[in-house]
């Protein structure tokens, strides 16, 4: 049985609170990484059309022997430049992702970026709602959306995203977005939850907390996400780290630890600013 608890989404479905992310994993490596993750006990896998690893990911899923209804598979529409989106073109991309993954339904489909300057995400969102109504995807959400864009989606369609997947780590804690999510029942899913494994994991405050709990700084960071209610999808291609990153359910940070980690927020965004990014 998987040690990972589920979080209930605003449409009544559930998502494992910890999953496995494959951003920046080449297709040929995604097979072995996802195979390791599934054998270790991960049940949620997060990919995207633009990661170009849906094929390797799908093969690993097929070969894992894990029943489809025990898995939670997410991919994302690459709403990149050069296309005016219609219900048909969204459906075409959705079908292509499913085919690459070798699946006949998805658990979660996300709009990858708001592409805010073009303001064409409403048409995409309406097409997502149709796919959900048809049962081809169980839950729909967005990624990298800011409060203004979430508000617009909700005002114009009345369909509230189940999830907003955003950059979030202890030195980029996104308090405003998290508050907006809490107010509207949107689950916060953190991408690059470990700050992409960079300097953050050498932070002295995290090192002190890690030593206190006899854990790694990465485990402390993941535990922090879980305790503040985030869904996390750490990425690793290293089997001992893949194992370490799911071994975070048998210790607990205390109130002092949580305050100390809250104090690390320096607004250090690693990825693009969603208000400006136009792919
Ligand atoms: P690798 O894939 O070589 O194991 P994020 O999920 O925040 O984007 O972070 C991913 C990065 O963090 C990758 O470079 C990954 O390296 C590294 N990483 C993942 N898990 C750990 C861990 N437990 N300890 C240290 N680094 C990790």
3-class secondary structure, 64: helix
170 within ligand 1 shell (Cβ under 6 A): no
Q: Tell me the best of 44, 46, 197, 199 to mutate to test the pocket of ligand 1, counting ligand atoms within 8 Å of each CB and taking the most.
A: 197
Q: What is the pLDDT of residues 30-62, one digit of tens each?
A: 999 999 999 999 999 999 999 999 999 999 999
Tens-place pLDDT, residues 9-29: 999 999 999 999 999 999 999
Looking at the predicted structure, is the pLDDT value of residue 176 above 90? Answer: yes
Cα–Cα distances (Å) from 194 to 29, 32, 53, 191, 223, in that order, read 20, 21, 21, 8, 11
pLDDT score of 269: 97
Between 116 and 8, residue with greater pLDDT: 8
Ligand 1 in contact with 192 (CB < 6 A)?
A: yes
SS3 105: coil
Q: How far is the CA of 232 from the centre of ligand 1 (A)?
A: 13
pLDDT band at 81 (very low <50, low <70, confident <90, very high): low
Atom of ligand 1 nearest to the CA of 194: 7
CA of 31 to the centre of ligand 1 (A): 17
Q: Determine how β-strand 14-16 pairs with β-strand 6-8.
A: antiparallel
Instruction: Answer yes or no: 105 catalytic.
Output: no
Query: What number of H helices and E strands is found in the chain?
Result: 10, 10
Q: At what angle do helices 54-64 and 87-101 cross, to 10 degrees?
A: 50
Residue 16 CB less than 6 A away from ligand 1: no
**197 Cβ below 6 A of ligand 1:** yes
Residue 225 has pLDDT above 90, yes or no: yes
- Catalytic residue, from 51, 105, 109, 121: name it: 51
pLDDT level of residue 94 (50, 70, 90 thresholds): very high
* pLDDT of 164 over the 80 cut: yes
The pLDDT of residue 276: 87
DSSP helix/strand/coil, 73: strand
**Helix ranges, the chain (H):** 27-40, 54-64, 87-101, 121-133, 147-157, 175-184, 204-213, 217-227, 239-246, 255-262
Structure confidence at residue 83 (pLDDT): 73
Model confidence, pTM: 0.97
Please work out whether the CB of residue 271 comes within 6 Å of at least one atom of ligand 1. no
CATH topology for 6-195+228-235?
TIM Barrel (3.20.20)
Classified as helix, coil or strand, 257 is helix
Type and span of the H or E element at 188: strand 187-191
Please identify, by atom number, the ligand 1 atom nearest to the C-alpha of residue 169: 7
């Amino acid at each position: 049985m998987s040690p990972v608890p589920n979080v209930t989404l605003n449409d009544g479905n559930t998502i494992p609170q910890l999953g496995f992310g494959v951003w920046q994993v080449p297709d040929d490596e995604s097979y072995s990484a996802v195979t390791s993750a599934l054998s270790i006990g991960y049940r949620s896998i997060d990919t995207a059309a633009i990661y170009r690893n849906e094929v390797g990911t799908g093969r690993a899923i097929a070969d894992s022997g894990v029943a489809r209804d025990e898995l939670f598979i997410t991919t994302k529409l690459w709403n990149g430049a050069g296309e005016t989106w219609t219900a048909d073109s969204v459906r075409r991309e959705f079908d292509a992702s499913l085919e690459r993954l070798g699946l006949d339904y998805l658990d979660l489909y996300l709009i990858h970026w708001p592409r805010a300057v073009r303001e064409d995400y409403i048409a995409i969102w309406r097409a997502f709602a149709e796919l959900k109504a048809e049962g081809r995807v169980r839950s729909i959400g967005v990624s990298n959306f800011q409060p203004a864009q979430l508000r617009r989606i909700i005002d114009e369609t009345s369909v509230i995203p189940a999830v907003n997947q955003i950059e979030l780590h202890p030195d980029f804690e996104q308090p405003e977005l998290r508050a907006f999510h809490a107010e509207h029942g949107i689950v916060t899913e953190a991408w690059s939850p470990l700050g992409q494994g960079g300097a953050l994991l050498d932070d002295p405050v995290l090192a002190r907390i890690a030593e206190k709990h006899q854990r790694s700084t990465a485990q402390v960071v993941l535990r922090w996400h879980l305790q503040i209610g985030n869904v996390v999808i750490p990425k690793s291609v290293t089997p001992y780290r893949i194992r370490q990153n799911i071994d975070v359910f048998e210790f607990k940070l205390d109130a002092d630890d949580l305050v100390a980690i809250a104090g690390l927020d320096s607004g250090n965004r690693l990825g693009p600013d969603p208000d400006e990014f136009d792919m």
